[in-house]
Copies of this chain bind each other. A is one copy, B any other.
């Protein structure tokens, strides 16, 4: 079975370890799954109850199938029971489900390789594709599937959107969900998959599925280790040819690698090798967590850069210098300005404006100055880093319309940095709605734009 359709779009789900209360993990998940009815059939399993949260519950797995022979297959099983019980449970599910998510911890990451090998073997024998163990599973915003054990009160789920999240770490998943929700406006997700110990399904399988997922416009991935380096490269390249893929590789240093091992029981391998392979095949890498999330926002909103000539347009000299330093670090080409245009700007602007790159409109700026510069230079640059420090009086909400209008007509990639006062917040919202991400510092704006530059 190649497709992971039963995992991401199940028509029927067996929940082993369902609970009657949202105070238990098996209750959190059951509550989420019941929202999928009637489109999706849900079979809770719990020996102590006949009904759970208003639906029929099953004492055993056998009871679900009853006397039915040959047994029909359900799409997905979710297992939330202590690790030592899981091989027995999976044995009972053989031939009865297409996919299973083992949420429970206590396998390779806790030194119990025996248990992990047991579920691996049983799944292979039984034709079951396995997610986990030691994972949260899947969230799919397009159909409402949500196998996560964290309540929505504690962890907001993103609204439907174009970014898929593929992560080996549940903690990083929760950090990403939170960052997406707090973004102004929030970033939306398509499919999120946390595959934990990756006994079977890993990042490569999910990359392959996402290639063909129309809801997914861009993919971000947190990876500590890969099992099969060649396959990873093949799948990552195939995906990156179809849509932007941004990878955060963790476990870079020796200490981090040890931590990654005790986290999911897999070796992280040499980061130097990993990094050089990414670079060789033109795969984009995030420097740290915030870089991953900022990059996701830029990728979700914008088309790729067509070249690396960027203009920094600012109303604060120092902010322009910081952006300029970051451009150099990121290998952006801060192209000079055609002399004829430089002369023209010197003529039309006050003498204390500083045309050039960065182009400094100073604290005396008016909103319309941004339009004048952008219109005059739209053919000369591939992308624009716009800084509008909103502490000065000349920056108003009207700037949002100026920039949104330029973006719509030019189609050029742009990133934006402004203040977080009332004016700045309104500006950020207007711009993000127009597809221009607003970033928290001049340097982060540059790094986010850099993610739009294809390497190959």
Which positions in A face B, CB cutoff 8 Å?
Answer: 105-106, 109-110, 149-151, 154-156, 167-175, 177-178, 182, 222, 224, 250-256, 258-260, 262-264, 288-290, 312, 314-322, 324-329, 334, 351-352, 354, 356-358, 360, 362-363, 389-393, 419-421, 423, 440-444
Given A174-B391, A288-B441, A443-B290, A260 and B354 contact (CB-CB distance below 8 Å): no
Q: 7 A-B Cβ contacts within 8 A?
A: A106-B352, A154-B393, A155-B421, A178-B421, A259-B320, A259-B360, A289-B442
Given A253-B325, A329-B253, A441-B289, A358 and B259 contact (CB-CB distance below 8 Å): yes
Copies of this chain present: 2
Given A259-B358, A328-B252, A290 and B441 contact (CB-CB distance below 8 Å): yes
Cα-based distance from A109 to B326 in the complex (angstroms): 22
Q: Which residues of B contact A250 (CB under 8 A)?
A: 318, 321-322, 325
A324 to chain B, nearest CB (A): 4
Asked if A443 contacts B288 (CB within 8 A), the reply is yes
Asked if B110 contacts A352 (CB within 8 A), the reply is yes
Q: Which residues of B contact A149 (CB under 8 A)?
A: 363
A249 to chain B, nearest CB (A): 9
Asked if B441 contacts A357 (CB within 8 A), the reply is no
Given A150-B392, A354-B262, A288 and B318 contact (CB-CB distance below 8 Å): no
Q: Per a CB cutoff under 8 Å, which of B258, B319, B352 touches A175?
A: B319
Additional 19 contacts, C-beta under 8 A, given A171-B314, A171-B316, A259-B320: A106-B352, A110-B351, A149-B363, A154-B423, A167-B318, A171-B318, A171-B320, A172-B316, A174-B389, A175-B389, A175-B419, A224-B321, A255-B334, A256-B327, A260-B321, A262-B356, A288-B326, A288-B443, A290-B443
Q: Which residues of B contact A319 (CB under 8 A)?
A: 169, 171-172, 175
Asked if B356 contacts A174 (CB within 8 A), the reply is no
With both beta carbons as reference points, the residue of chain B lying nearest to A444 in the complex is identified as B290
Asked if B317 contacts A264 (CB within 8 A), the reply is yes
Q: Which residues of B contact A174 (CB under 8 A)?
A: 316, 389, 391, 419
Given A150-B392, A391-B174, A169 and B253 contact (CB-CB distance below 8 Å): no
